[in-house]
Amino acid sequence: MQSFLRSVTVSVRRCWSSLILLWMLSMMSLMVMHRMVSMVMHRMVGMVMHRIIGMVMHRMVGMVMHRMIGMVMHRMVGMVMHRMVGMVMHRMVSMVMHRMISMMLMVHRIMRSRCYGRLLMNREIIPRPCRSLWNWMESLRSCCRLIIREVNLR
């Protein structure tokens, strides 16, 4: 009877140890499978979500930032360029106009003076309709030369 009990206990121990070993192996394989599946799923879902959320956020934030920064830069640069170019153009045009008007006034003064009357008394300067265009241009050129000489004398 003792030998039977001993053999039963030995067989139960062996069976129990094999069960424990089997349970440990199954748990290890389950852990390995869990790790592999979770890694694969994490990577797949992570990539898909990253792409979807990344694209959506990129477009939304990009559009908002583009509009905000674009408007601010457009206004700032536009104002600065408008003022700079406006000031430069205003000064240039006003200087040119000032010089042109002063030259015209000087020519007007010379033409109204007695000197121009003396120049007109010279028969070559008077443009007559009977002369050809060449003669008329020559007389105009000599008149301009005399006016410039008068300007330089003053």
Q: Give residue-wise pLDDT tens across range 101-153.
A: 888 888 777 666 655 555 555 555 555 554 466 666 677 777 788 878 877 77
Q: Looking only at Cα atoms, what is the longest distance across the chain? A: 166
Residue 53's domain spans which residues? 41-112
Report yes or no on 100 lying in a domain.
Answer: yes
Report yes or no on 21 lying in a domain.
Answer: no
Report yes or no on 31 lying in a domain.
Answer: no
Report yes or no on 23 lying in a domain.
Answer: no
Q: What are 31-86's pLDDT values in tens digits? A: 999 999 999 999 999 999 999 999 999 999 999 999 999 999 999 999 999 999 99
Report yes or no on 120 lying in a domain.
Answer: no
pTM score over 0.85: no
Report yes or no on 4 lying in a domain.
Answer: no
The count of domains in the chain is 1
Q: Which residues contact 143 (CB under 8 A, 6 or more apart)?
A: 119, 125
Report yes or no on 50 lying in a domain.
Answer: yes
Report yes or no on 143 lying in a domain.
Answer: no
